[in-house]
Structure 1
Amino acid sequence: MSDPAFRFDLAATCGAARTGTIHTPRGPIRTPAFMPVGTAATVKAMLPESVAATGADILLGNTYHLMLRPTAERVAALGGLHRFMNWSGPILTDSGGFQVMSLTGLRKMTEEGVRFASHIDGSRHMLSPERSMEIQRLLGSDIVMAFDECTPYPATREQAQASMELSMRWARRSRDAFGDRPGHALFGIMQGSTFPDLRAQSAETLREIGFDGYAIGGLAVGEGQAAMFEVLDYAPGLLPADRPRYLMGVGKPDDIVGAVQRGVDMMDCVLPSRSGRTGQAFTRHGVVNIKNARHAEDPRPLDEACTCPACRGYSRAYLHHVFRAGEIISSMLLTWHNLHYYQELMAGLRGAIAAGTLDSFVADFHAMRAPGDIPPL
C-alpha cells in the first residue's frame, strides 16, 4: 500500500474467494469482513461493546447523516467519531453520495456537486468531493470513501456512462482533496451499472488515479440477485488484487456468500439491525418472523446452535411476547442475534477459504436453509 500503516495482506484464496487482513492503526480487519452500519454514530439498539462482542472488527458511519446532525464540526470538537461513539476499532465512512441520490426532488446535481435540502429541517447544503473529504477528515474515519454518484437502476447505457464518467471526475477530485493523511485510507468506487465495458473503463480510471482500496458501487439498488452476481462474476477481477474490494450495501446472507465466492472482501448492510427491529431473525435455517403466532408458546431458542444472548437466555415465546408488546429489549436481543449470526457466517467463510473447503461450506449453507425454519411444536 502507499501508506505502510494501512496495508492488505492476502492469506489464502479458494477459487475467486480470498481471505486476509487489512491492517490499520486502530486494529486489524479480518476479511471477508461484514461491517455493521452505525448510520448516526450508533448501531441501533446496540452498545459498541456489544457490537464488538459479536465479532465485528469495523463499523460504518454515514457522512450525510452526521454532517446534518450533530455536524462534522461538532464531532471534531468533541474528539472525533471514535471517541464520540465510544468505538476504538476502525471506522469506514461512506461519502454521502448514495443518500443524496435518494433525495429525488430535494437535490440539484451539477459538475460541482449536489445541492440538497436536509430531510430533517429543509436547510440547504452543498456536498461536493472536496466537502465530503473535509467532513470525513473532521469525523476522523480510518477508511474514507470517494464522493460518487450512485447510478440508479434501471439506467440506459447513456445514463450509466454519463453517471460513471461524472463519478470518475469526482474520484480524481476526491483523491486530490484527500491529500496525504498517514494512517487513513481512501477507497475509490467503481460504477457502470450492468454494462461490462463501462465497469472496465471505470476500473481502469480508478487504478490510474490510485487508491488504497476499491469499492464496487451501483449494485443492490433494485437489479436483483441474478443481475448483481452477473456483474460480480467479472467486476472484482478488474480491480487490483493487492487491494481490498468492498461491495457496498450488501446484503442478505445468500448475497454475502455469493459475493465472497466471487472475490469480494468487505460488505455492509443495514439489514441485520433493521430486521431485528422489525421482528425478523436470521438463522442457519433461514429467516424467522418472531411476530408470527406460531412462536407464542414455543420454549425453544431461535437457533439451538447459536451462542448469542438472545438464544442462550430467551425462548421464542418470550421474544414473540416482547416484540408484540413493543418492548425495547426485543430490538436489542434480535439485533444482537442477527449481528452475531452475520459475524459467525463471516468467520465460517474465512475458515473455509483458508482450508480450501469453500465449495462444501457453501453447499452446506444452502442445504441447511432449503427446508426453512424448524417445524412448529
Structure 2
Amino acid sequence: MFDFEISAHCSNTQARCGCFHTPHGPVQTPQFMPVGTLATVKGISTEQLIHAGTQMVLSNTYHLHLQPGENIVASAGGLHRFMGWHGPMLTDSGGFQVFSLGNLNTVDERGVIFQSPRDGRTIHMTPEQATTIQMTLGADVVMAFDQCPPYSATENDVIDACRRTHAWLERCVNAHTRNDQALFGIVQGGCFPHLRRDSAHAVAAFNLPGIAIGGVSVGEPVNDIHRIIRDINPLLPIDRPRYLMGVGTPCEMAIAVANGTDMFDCVLPTRLGRHGTALVGGERWNLRNARFRNDHTPLDSSCSCPACTNHSRAYLHHLIRSEELLGLTLVSLHNITHLLRFTSAMAQAIQDGSFSEDFAPWQRNSPAHHTW
C-alpha cells in the first residue's frame, strides 16, 4: 500500500524521482507539500489547491487536538472528508511544537506537558496519545512524536532529546495499529554530526515506510542544513521516501534533492503571501512597493495560477495596499504554485537526464541564487 517506486536517477548527483503510493492516491516525488495546519491551507480552497497541482497536504496534530478536537474530525468521516480534500495527507505529530512552544511546555521521559495557548489548560501529550490522535484523524502518513531541540541547545541537551526521540519512536510504533496509515520516524541530532549519524541508524532500524529529517530550520545557518542532508541521506534506506521537514525555499530544496531528498513542507509560501510578498524568478517581490503601482504586466508570465493569468501586478499591488483578502489569497496561491512548479521541474529534469546541468550549481555554490 505504501510502496515507493524510484523511476529515474541523476547520474551525477543523488537526485531521484519516483512515486510514493498511498490509500488516497500516488505522490510523485520530489514533491512540495503545502501546510494546512488546522485542516486548511490559509486562504486557499481545496479546489484551488488541486488546480495548482498539489498532490499532498500537511496538517498538525497538536493544533487539531486543541480545535476542533480529533473526535469531531472523526465524526465527520476523518480528516479528508472534514476538509474536503480527497488526496493524500500527512499529519505532523506535534513534536515541532515542543520547540516552537518551548515557553509553554515541560518535557520529561513520559512526554510533554503543554499549556494551551488557546485557553491555558494543561495538555499531557505522550507518544501514545500523539499516535492515537493521528489514527483518529486518519491521514495517510503520520509522524512519530519526537523532541525537536532548538539550535541553541547544548550537546548534552541534544543527546537527551535524541534518546527521548528514539524511545518515543518505539512507543509510537507499539501504539500504531492502523494498516492504512504509514508511520514515519524522525531523525534528530541538532548540528552535531555524530548525533545525527547515531539517530539516523537508530530510526532506520525500525524499518518504517518512510523517514524524515527533523530539527532543521530552527535557527541554524543554512550551510548546516546542507551538511546535515549530505551526511544523513546516505545512511537512510534507499527504497523509502526521505522527507525534509520545514524546508521550502527553491535553493534548499534543489540542494536537498541533489542529495537524495524526496518530500518537503513549509509555511513559507502562504506566510509570505499574507504579507504581500510573491516568489518570482527565485526572488521575493514585495508587492506593496510603488514600482508595481502602474505595472500592468502579469506577475509571472510563465505561471498559470489565477494571479498571473487573470490579473496584473498593478491590480495585485492595489489589493495588497488596500488590505483586501483577495490579494492575500492570490499571492499565497501563486507562491504555492511556484514551489509546486519548481519541484515538478526538478522531477522532469531528473527524468530527462538534465538535472546535473540545470540544478548542479545549487549544490556546488551553496547557498546559491537561482533565476528559475
Give SS of 1:10's match.
strand
Shift of 1:100: 3.0
Shift of 1:365: 8.2
In structure 1, the residue matched to 2:6 is 10
In structure 1, the residue matched to 2:275 is 278
The reply on whether 1:307 has 2:304 as its aligned counterpart is yes
Shift of 1:286: 1.4
Contact residue 64 and residue 100 of structure 1 kept, 8 A: no
Give SS of 1:164's match.
helix
Q: Could you say if the C-alpha distance between residues 332 and 122 of structure 1 is closer, same or farther in structure 2, counting changes exceeding 3 Å? A: same
CA distance in 1, matches of 2:236, 2:132: 26
Give SS of 1:206's match.
helix
Q: Letter of the 2:290 partner, please give it.
A: A
Deviations 1:236-283 (A, max 9, x none): 111100110000000212111111111110000000111111111111
Between 1:199-208 and 1:337-346, the stretch displaced more is 199-208
> Unaligned regions of 5+ residues in structure 2, if any?
none
Contact residue 284 and residue 365 of structure 1 kept, 8 A: no
Counterpart among 220, 226, 230 of residue 227 in structure 2: 230
In structure 2, the residue matched to 1:92 is 90
CA distance in 2, matches of 1:121, 1:163: 28
Q: What RMSD in Å do the two structures reach over aligned CA positions?
A: 1.8
Shift of 1:156: 2.2
Counterpart among 63, 76, 79 of residue 78 in structure 1: 76
CA distance in 1, matches of 2:371, 2:175: 50
Shift of 1:154: 2.5
TM-score normalised according to structure 1 size: 0.94
> Unaligned regions of 5+ residues in structure 1, if any?
none
Number of aligned residues: 367
Between 1:197-206 and 1:213-222, the stretch displaced more is 197-206
Contact residue 91 and residue 134 of structure 2 kept, 8 A: yes
Shift of 1:224: 2.0
Counterpart among 308, 323, 328 of residue 325 in structure 2: 328
TM-score normalised according to structure 2 size: 0.95
Counterpart among 339, 343, 347 of residue 346 in structure 1: 343
Counterpart among 289, 293, 301 of residue 292 in structure 1: 289
The reply on whether 1:362 has 2:328 as its aligned counterpart is no
Instruction: Kindly report which structure 2 residues correspond to 1:132-151, keeping only aligned pairs within 5 A, or say none.
Output: 132-151=130-149
CA distance in 2, matches of 1:130, 1:16: 36
In structure 2, the residue matched to 1:265 is 262
CA distance in 1, matches of 2:116, 2:357: 48
CA distance in 2, matches of 1:345, 1:95: 27
Shift of 1:295: 0.6
In structure 2, the residue matched to 1:212 is 209
CA distance in 2, matches of 1:245, 1:233: 12
CA distance in 1, matches of 2:90, 2:318: 36
Between 1:148-157 and 1:289-298, the stretch displaced more is 148-157
